[in-house]
Amino acid sequence: MIKFFTQLGLYFLLLKKVFSKPEKPVLYYKQTINELVNLGFTSVGIIAIISFFMGAVITLQTAYNTENPIYPKYLIGLGCRDSMILEFSSTIAALILAGKVGSNIAAEIGTMRVTEQIDALEIMGVNSASYLILPKIVATLLFNPILTIIAIIVGIFGGWVAGTFSGVMTSENFIYGIQYAFIPYYIVYSLIKTLFFAFIITSVSAFQGYYVNGGSLEVGRASTKAVVYSSVIILLFNVILTQLLLS
Amino acid sequence: MIRVLNLNKSFNGKAVLENISVTFETGKTNLIIGRSGSGKTVLLKSIVGLHEIESGEIWYEDTLFNKLNFAGKKVIRSQMGMLFQGSALFDSLTVEQNVLFPLDMFTDKTPEEKIERINFCLNRVDIINANHLFPSELSGGMKKRVAIARAIALNPKYLFCDEPNSGLDPITAILIDALIKELTEEYSMTTIVNTHDMNSVMEIGEKIIFISEGVKCWEGNKNEILNSDCEILNDFVFANSLAKKLRDSGK
């Protein structure tokens, strides 16, 4: 328990360092652009592929489990839409990003720690925590909502492709379904969750990397911890945010 | 000049440095020597503020460094350059960008002035036509020289070198030693070098302190080190068979 609170204290102390005034904002701006590419653009492919197939599978599973004629066919489209918006695009995509982006951040910062690159920054008088972590947080906060929107669009498209090409429903039914009883607030809910999850992934992973002590073995462990802890915290916050935002 | 007074440092209750007091002189190459694990790197990192110390004082000229806040330390750190054991070049940046980094961060020079300064520093350490290479494409000796170029980019008053010769062949090691000594004299810096390499000691040791198990056991210069009556120091200095033979033959 003491270890948990020590780690929690260290985490908040790190955040305090991260959010202190940047030395030279223009350099942070450049660094943020780099991180948008490294952490954001490079994730578009994996998110698009997974979303497409998730949308397709959700549609097929809904179709095969609701064959009773009581249920109108357009409900399959509605199910696909709401699943993608409410849960997949934010939570499941965040878990995927925790694996891809989180491990990347922990390994990068951890390697910088064990090879004394962070010490080199500190010796120069640079606030290493802020310089290394703040641009990553800003970049993911800016880009992850875009990934969420991409996941929603591609996932629904995947559902349409699977639904119509497999013949379980017509295109008209699917399109009617995704327009039926649409609640715009669900998009806001999803984007709010995404922002929280982006912050959790980046800050927790950076924390794991920043305090690595040892060599390559410890960097590997930090990378694993980053993914595990981020995922667990995301799931916990998913419950809390859902209760707060949808109740 | 850097003065260390009664410095104590421990990790998890285990004392690593005990009551170290020493003055490192300006314009001289000051050496901290000792066996691996004796506390040399901890002492160096404590002096530059990378480790918090338990007690004692670290003075940079008339400024008590270890009591300063981050902003105060930043002012002193802008006058420091450090060469790390593994060079600590930024992997994702080219040679040129590595040297540019402190200039970008702490100066308002124009791009042309920065390029001029980068080329001057790289030429000074004999790095030619490597501006666009990444650290992974450099040899160990080249990495050290680029790290020195980065360290001197801002004209530091204090230069710290942690095991500058580790992993280098003897000839490259001598070149790095010579470069450190030349730069120290050229810019009248206070240079502190951590080493356990006796060649370095005999080449550049203008002032030397010997540390064993976290305690300062001896202080002197390269001329005095061979005639010391400190037994632990003699075991260290004459550890290899060549040195032993030379001592026994009276040479």
Higher pLDDT, residue B243 or A31: A31
* Predicted local distance difference test score (pLDDT) of residue B114: 93
* Mean pLDDT across A48-63: 94
Closest to B98 (Cα-Cα) out of B114, B112, B110:
B114
pLDDT tens digits along A204-215: 999 999 999 988
ipTM for this model: 0.87
* Predicted local distance difference test score (pLDDT) of residue B171: 84
Q: What are phi and psi of B55, to 5 degrees?
A: -155, 165
* Predicted local distance difference test score (pLDDT) of residue A201: 96
Q: What is the pLDDT confidence band of residue B243, given thresholds at 50, 70 and 90? A: low
* Predicted local distance difference test score (pLDDT) of residue B95: 95
- How much of chain B, in percent, has pLDDT values that exceed 70? 96
Residues of B in contact with A115 (CB under 8 A): 86, 88, 91
* Predicted local distance difference test score (pLDDT) of residue B247: 65
Structure tokens at A228: 């595990």
In this structure, are residues A54 and A156 in contact, taking their beta carbons and an 8 Å threshold? no
CA distance A18 to A153: 34
Q: In the predicted model, is pLDDT for residue B232 greater than 90?
A: no
Closest to A234 (Cα-Cα) out of A132, A107, A140, A157:
A140
Rg (CA), chain B: 19
Q: How many other CB atoms sit within 10 Å of the CB of residue A145?
A: 18
Size of interface A-B (CB pairs under 8 A): 53
Q: In the predicted model, is pLDDT for residue B215 greater than 70?
A: yes
B200-236: string of b/e by CB count within 10 Å (b at 16+)?
Answer: bbebbbbbbbbbbebbbbbebebeebeeeebebbbeb
Q: What pairs with residue B81 in β-bridges?
A: B159
CA distance B55 to B46: 11
Q: In the predicted model, is pLDDT for residue B251 greater than 60?
A: no
Closest-CA distance of chain A to residue B86, Å:
7
CA distance A166 to A62: 13
- Could you give the angle at the alpha carbon of A135 between the alpha carbons of A132 and A137, nearest 5°? 105
In this structure, are residues B159 and B48 in contact, taking their beta carbons and an 8 Å threshold? no
Cβ neighbors of A35 (< 8 A, separation 6 or more) are: A135, A136, A138, A139, A140
Domains and CATH numbers, chain B: 1-79+158-251 (3.40.50.300), 85-155 (no CATH)
**Of A154-168, A227-241, B167-181, minimum mean pLDDT range:** B167-181
**Amino acid identity, position B133:** L
The residue among A29, A121, A123, A127 with the most chain B CBs within 10 A of its CB, best to mutate, is A123
Q: In the predicted model, is pLDDT for residue B116 greater than 70?
A: yes
List, as ranges, residues 4-23 from A with C-beta within 8 Å of B: 23
Q: What is the dihedral of CA A83, A89, A93, A97, to 10 degrees?
A: -170
Q: What is the pLDDT confidence band of residue A3, given thresholds at 50, 70 and 90? A: confident
* Predicted local distance difference test score (pLDDT) of residue B235: 82
Q: What pairs with residue B57 in β-bridges?
A: B5
Output the pTM of the full model.
0.88
Residues of B in contact with A119 (CB under 8 A): 45, 50, 82, 84, 88
Q: Does A125 touch chain B (CB under 8 A)?
A: yes
Q: In the predicted model, is pLDDT for residue A99 greater than 60?
A: yes
Q: What is the pLDDT confidence band of residue A159, given thresholds at 50, 70 and 90? A: very high
Q: What is the pLDDT confidence band of residue A144, given thresholds at 50, 70 and 90? A: very high
Residues of B in contact with A27 (CB under 8 A): 104-105
* Mean pLDDT across B227-241: 79
- The count of residues in chain A is 247
Average pLDDT, rounded, for chain B: 89
Instruction: Report the residue from A112, A117, A123 with minimal CB separation from B77.
Output: A123
Yes or no, beta carbons of B105 and A23 under 8 Å apart: yes
Based on the number of CB atoms within 10 Å of its own CB, is B135 exposed (0-12), middle (13-18) or buried (19 or more)?
buried
What secondary structure does DSSP assign to B131-159, as a single string? TT--GGGS-HHHHHHHHHHHHHTT--SEE
- How much of chain A, in percent, has pLDDT values that exceed 70? 100
- How much of chain A, in percent, has pLDDT values that exceed 90? 84
Residues of A in contact with B84 (CB under 8 A): 116, 119-120
Yes or no, beta carbons of A127 and B70 under 8 Å apart: yes
* Predicted local distance difference test score (pLDDT) of residue B231: 83
**Of A64-73, A160-169, B210-219, minimum mean pLDDT range:** A64-73
Element spanning B20, H or E: strand B14-24
Q: In the predicted model, is pLDDT for residue A54 greater than 60?
A: yes
In this structure, are residues B31 and B207 in contact, taking their beta carbons and an 8 Å threshold? yes
Residues of B in contact with A19 (CB under 8 A): none
CA distance A65 to B151: 67
Instruction: Report the residue from B74, B88, B101 with minimal CB separation from A115.
Output: B88
In this structure, are residues B2 and B58 in contact, taking their beta carbons and an 8 Å threshold? yes
pLDDT tens digits along B14-38: 999 999 999 999 989 999 998 888 8
Average pLDDT, rounded, for chain A: 93
C-alpha dist (Å) from residue B30 to B5, B62, B211? 16, 19, 13
* Mean pLDDT across B1-15: 92
In this structure, are residues B148 and B193 in contact, taking their beta carbons and an 8 Å threshold? no
Closest to B48 (Cα-Cα) out of B158, B153, B147:
B158
* Predicted local distance difference test score (pLDDT) of residue A212: 94
